[in-house]
Structure 1
Amino acid sequence: MAPNPTLMQAVEHLGYRVTVGDVATQAGLNVNMAQAGLLALASDAGGHLQVAETGEIVYLFPKNFRTVLRNKFLRLRLKEWWEKIWKVLFYLIRISFGIILIASIVLIFVAIAVILIAVNSSRDSDDSGGGHHGGGGMVFMPRFWFGPDIWWFFYPDYSDRYQQRRVSSPQGKREMNFLEAVFSFLFGDGNPNADLEERRWQEIATVIRNNQGAVTAEQIAPYLDDMGKGWGKKYEDYMLPVLTRFNGQPEVSPDGEIVYHFPELQTTAQERNSQPVAAYLRERPWRFSQADSGQIMLSAGLGAVNIIGALVLNSLLRGEIGVQLAQSGGLIAFVQSIYWILLSYGIAFLSIPLIRYFWIQWRNQRIEARNQQRQERAILLNQANSALQKKIAYAQQFAAKTVIGREDLAYTTETELIEQEIEQADKIDAEWQRRLNQSGS
């Protein structure tokens, strides 16, 4: 079975020497899942176990463990290969909507131009047959924007504009090109809260770690959603998923208040300061599109041009010249055969973003309501009354922090047992001397 990517990222971020509590905090993983994953990863990637005298275990991994795994697991290699292929395929899918739109508009207006030229030629022939000469018929020739000039849609100076926007944009963020903006206008840019659960558990674990493994329910509430009702809320049933995920233990104070103790999150492989964490879990609002306003207006305008052009083309196809050209085959016959596809594409091109706009408004209202509820719990925590302050103070009685350094190790799989016994001979002799002195006194 391929290793958990989230777990591997956590190991790398933490410097390749970790405890179960370190990984559970960093990745927001279930403690049991983190422990099983670390054991499997150590076995597959050539990692080492360092056992402290207290029985705590530290996992040490080589910095090239990804290369070791890649050479060992065909499935992992295939996954990395597919991810690279999928990036290219997905990019082609994204830009295809803009390409189809441009092709539809070009096809519609070329067909219109062909029909109007035929109509104009027919009128010139009629005028010539009637003895009238001159170029008056040319007034029926419309001025179309087709041919090479159509590529102004792609911003001929886009390269220069992109560089300017990149310099002026925050953190040098890459701007979309027009074809990417069309996809963004149609379907948006994905769920901004796709990582919500990951962020939730990371922040909860960080709060617990910052409080040295002992917290109250009120300190965790700003990061939860379903608080329950009635007795379930009163008896803090909403803490059960947190206890299950991080192997927590409830403790009852003399006043009957419940606090929570998480031993696994009190052990770390190296000294770390308290990590910054948001006061409450905030969901990000959905955005209609990350394309700029000019790109959105251009996309909507082209959709309207597609619909209008299709309606004009329909009226020309119903005319005598249009019917004759369609019956004779060629371009006009082809355009007539796919006419309803061209019109439907233009209608869908504007309908989908319109529906999505109202759906986003409704979705953001619900997100804001949930954010407001969590913020109110954070405010109550910051304005804690005397009872809550007393409860938090009681929880701190269970607070502890254990940093396992190399000097605390009793055993490690990095070297042979005999070598370790030689290295620790002085330490063992000192321990025996201390015990003899105690027994003699």
Structure 2
Amino acid sequence: MAAISTCFFFTVRPTNTQSIVFSRKSFVLKPSRIHSQGLRYRSKRRSSVNFVRASGLVESDNVPSDVRKRAMEAVDALGKRVTVGDVASKAGLQLTQAQKALQALASDTNGFLEVSDEGDVLYVFPKDYRSNLTAKSFRMKIEPLLEKAKLAGEYLVRVSFGTALIASIVIVYTTIIAILSSRSEEDNRGRRGRSYDSGFSFYLSPTDLFWYWDPYYYRRRRVREESGGMNFIESVFSFVFGDGDPNQEIEEERWKLIGKYISSNGGVVAAEELAPFLDVETPNKTDDESYILPVLLRFDGQPEVDEEGNILYRFPSLQRTAAPQRSVRKEYVGKRWTDWVGQVERFLQEKKLQFSKTSSSERALVIGLGGLNLFGVIVLGTMLKNMTVSPSNFISFVSEIFPLLQIYAGSFFTIPLIRWFLVRKRNGEIERRNRAREQYARALERPNVSLRRKLLSARDMAQRTFIGQERIVYSTDKDLYEQDYDAQQWEQRFREIEKSE
């Protein structure tokens, strides 16, 4: 393998507004690996470490919040000394996303870079890098507040829709009573008494209507949700609109599983090994492996052909790590293979959608009140059309907002009906995808002769390289003259190795 032993001048460019310049007097590097890490080298010597940044600029603010959070979680989980491949596989990020996030975080938190004897670039972060970043970034300070405001706004919509049902019932039946009373003053008291003493009752806590006066209501509501409870106001919204998509974060989970599986298997896999995590609805009966293309693009993979003509896929960036792991052992190919390697899930399983999380009694109460409201709106509409007396101010006001009451009463049952059909359709699709992934997973547990030989070939080609401190030949955290002495010692050892060969 070609190597270069000379003086290099490197420029790491995390963003357009900053650069990290450092030099190395003498060590072996692979130019291809340098370019893959975003480094540029020149045969030129430099004797200083120079950080160039725009004043007051926080580079991490230019990274999407989701990418930054996932990268930081991966950094914490991997011990704060990572490669780009480590973060990409752990967080399920694209290599370019992981690299940009690491460069920005290192720039903002006084992190430093290490370069191995083969040109691998490692990012090392201090223990308090999170607090350093939060102190600098106004965006990170307000993000928790914005998230709380978003959750509070969403909950406000939920309780408002439920409260509207109670308000609609009160307005509709109060108007009906007012119209009847205007027709006959003699029957007013009797009708009013019968209206309010009809025996109908339902449970409605005052705190459900006035939740915004209670500063601890939101916290108690979350406790109820975790224990499976739901108050009446929330159950109305749940019945009409549902409770959200349980697979909202399925893509993030998918890429985390794929990245973990590839790295655990030494960076070389067969297409059949990744099928249990992808959306291949029916087991492939042909040699078409185009479904693996998104994985190659995300983790910079490349196809390779083994001695037997099998097509395998290598991911070089996921083969080099700063986190020591167990070696890949080919005798585990077959049953329980995925259970042994890194405890990776057997296959990606989507959750089925629920029509509503409400209990049967809560649903019956909501349907009953919705039906009562719809019946009242129909009756009121007829009465407003046949009015012969001059309406009062209240009745005139109700006449003006009556179209809104009709829309609310009609959508109360129309939306759930449409949603019921959509939920059934989507659950059927989810079940088919889950069944196909499980079939691929079972095929890996009990592979036929052809697939077993393919898996064994992939394990033979696997390579997992741990980059320890003994392989670091340059660090931006050390003085250049100190590293010059280390470099001379390393170069002497390298020459001895060359002579022995």
Cα displacement string for residues 225-247 of structure 1 (whole angstroms, at most 9, x for unaligned residues): 2589999x515233232222212
Query: SS of the residue aligned with 1:122?
Result: coil
1:87-146 CA-partner distances (Å, limit 9, x unpaired): 22222122110111111111112223333444552358xxxxxxxxxxxx8378424269
Distance in 2 (CA, whole Å) between partners of 1:430 and 1:317 is 95
Change (3 A) 1:61 1:182: farther
Whole-angstrom CA distance in 1 between matches of 2:135 and 2:81: 22
The percentage of aligned residue pairs carrying the same residue is 39
User: Aligned in 2, Cα 1:47/1:297: closer, same or farther, shift over 3 Å?
Assistant: farther
Q: CA deviation at 1:254?
A: 2.1
Taking structure 1 as reference, are residues 10 and 430 closer, same or farther at Cα in structure 2, changes over 3 Å only?
closer
Counterpart code for 2:361:
G
Deviation at 1:173, TM superposition (A): 3.8
Out of 347, 350, 357, which is 1:290 matched to?
357
Q: Given the alignment of the two structures, is residue 109 of structure 1 paired with residue 176 of structure 2, yes or no?
A: no
C-alpha distance in 2 between matches for 1:440 and 1:369 = 60
Q: Deviations over 1:184-234 (max 9, x none)?
A: 222112222222222222111121122121111111122222589999x51
Q: Partners in 2 of 1:117 and 1:168 — Cα distance?
A: 44
CA contact (8 A) 1:214 1:399 kept: yes
Does residue 21 of structure 1 match 2:85? yes
Distance 1:121 1:227 in 2: 70
Alignment of 1:33-72 (within 5 A): 33-72=97-136
In the TM superposition, residue 352 of structure 1 has moved relative to its aligned partner by 0.4
Alignment partner, residue 214 of structure 1:
268
What is the CA-CA distance between 1:377 and the residue it aligns to? 1.8
Q: 1:308 aligns with which of 375, 381, 401?
A: 375
Which among 492, 495, 499 is matched to residue 432 of structure 1?
A: 492
* Change in 2 beyond 3 A, CA 1:268/1:166: same
State whether residues 30 and 246 of structure 1, in contact with CA within 8 Å, keep that contact through their aligned partners in structure 2: yes
Q: Give the Cα–Cα distance (whole angstroms) in 2 for the partners of residues 168 and 230 of structure 1.
A: 46
1:331 to 388, 394, 413: 394
Q: Deviations over 1:150-194 (max 9, x none)?
A: 7733488999xx99999999xx54633322222222211222222
- Aligned mates of 2:396, 2:237 — CA distance in 1: 30
1:240-251 maps to which residues of 2 (within 5 A)?
240-251=293-304
The residue that corresponds to 1:265 in the other structure is 318
Mapping of 1:362-401 within 5 angstroms? 362-401=425-464
User: Any stretches of 5+ residues in structure 2 without a counterpart?
Assistant: 1-60, 212-217, 327-340
Q: Distance in 1 between matches of 2:421 and 2:219?
A: 34
8 Å contact kept, 2:277–2:347: yes
Q: Deviations over 1:9-50 (max 9, x none)?
A: 322333322211211111211223322332232223322112
Q: Which has the larger radius of gyration?
A: 1
Paired with 1:174 and 1:67, the residues of 2 have a C-alpha distance of: 36
Number of matched residues?
415
User: Alpha-carbon deviation of 1:332?
Assistant: 2.0
The counterpart of 1:2, out of the listed 52, 58, 62, is 62
The 5 A counterparts of 1:167-182 are: 172-173=226-227, 175-182=229-236
Q: Indicate how the Cα distance of structure 1 residues 150 and 110 shifts in structure 2: closer, same or farther if over 3 A, else same.
A: farther
Instruction: Summarize the Cα distance change of 1:328–1:429 in structure 2 as closer, same or farther, 3 Å threshold.
Output: closer
What corresponds to 2:413 in structure 1? 350
Secondary structure at the aligned position of 2:186 is classed as: helix
1:153 has 2:200 as partner: no
* Per-residue deviation, residues 247-267 of structure 1 (Å, max 9, x unmatched): 223221222111122221122
Cα distance in 2 for residues equivalent to 1:376 and 1:166: 38
Report the alpha carbon displacement of residue 438 of structure 1 after superposing the two structures with TM: 7.6
The residue identity in structure 2 corresponding to 1:285 is: K
Show structure 1 runs of 5+ residues with no match. Answer: 125-136
Could you tell me which amino acid in structure 2 is paired with residue 14 of structure 1? L
Q: Normalising by the residue count of structure 2, what TM-score does the alignment of the two structures yield?
A: 0.72
Bigger relative contact order, structure 1 or 2 (CA pairs below 8 A, ≥6 apart): 1
Where 1:410 maps in the other structure, the secondary structure is strand
Which residue does the alignment assign to 2:345?
278
Structure 2 CA distance for partners of 1:377 and 1:106, relative to 1, 3 Å = same
Aligned to 1:193: 247
**Which protein has the bigger helix share?**
1
Q: Matches of 1:212 and 1:437 in 2, distance apart?
A: 27
User: Which residue of structure 1 lines up, in the alignment, with residue 42 of structure 2?
Assistant: none
Asked whether the 8 Å contact 2:83–2:321 carries over to 1, the reply is: yes
In the alignment, the residues of structure 2 paired with residue 220 and residue 257 of structure 1 have an alpha-carbon distance, to the nearest angstrom, of: 16
What residue number does 2:194 align with?
142
Contact residue 214 and residue 396 of structure 1 kept, 8 A: yes
Q: Which amino acid in the other structure matches residue 152 of structure 1?
A: Y
Contact between 2:177 and 2:192, CA under 8 Å: does it hold in 1?
no
Q: CA RMSD in A?
A: 3.6
- Match for residue 289 of structure 2? 236
Q: 2:162 aligns with which of 93, 98, 102?
A: 98
Find the residue that maps to 1:59 and give its secondary structure: strand
Q: Name the residue aligned to 1:204.
A: 258
> How many Å separate the matches in 2 of 1:374 and 1:433?
51
TM normalised by structure 1 equals: 0.81
- Residues of 2 paired with 1:229 and 1:164: CA distance? 47
- Given the superposition, is the C-alpha separation of residues 157 and 366 from structure 1 closer, same or farther in structure 2, using an over 3 Å criterion? closer
CA distance in 1, matches of 2:500, 2:277: 56
Deviation of 1:57 after TM superposition, in Å, equals 2.0
Query: 1 CA distance for matches of 2:411 and 2:109?
Result: 51
- In 2, Cα distance between equivalents of 1:109 and 1:140: 10
Contact 1:166–1:174 (Cα < 8 Å) also in 2: no
1:296 is displaced (CA, Å) by 2.3
Q: Matched residues in 1 for 2:439 and 2:449: separation?
A: 18
Q: 1:379 to 1:121 in 2, by over 3 A?
A: same
Separation in 2, partners of 1:406, 1:190: 47
Distance 1:75 1:258, change over 3 A: same
Q: Distance in 2 between matches of 1:419 and 1:249?
A: 40
Equivalent-residue separation in structure 2 for 1:393 and 1:351 (angstroms): 56
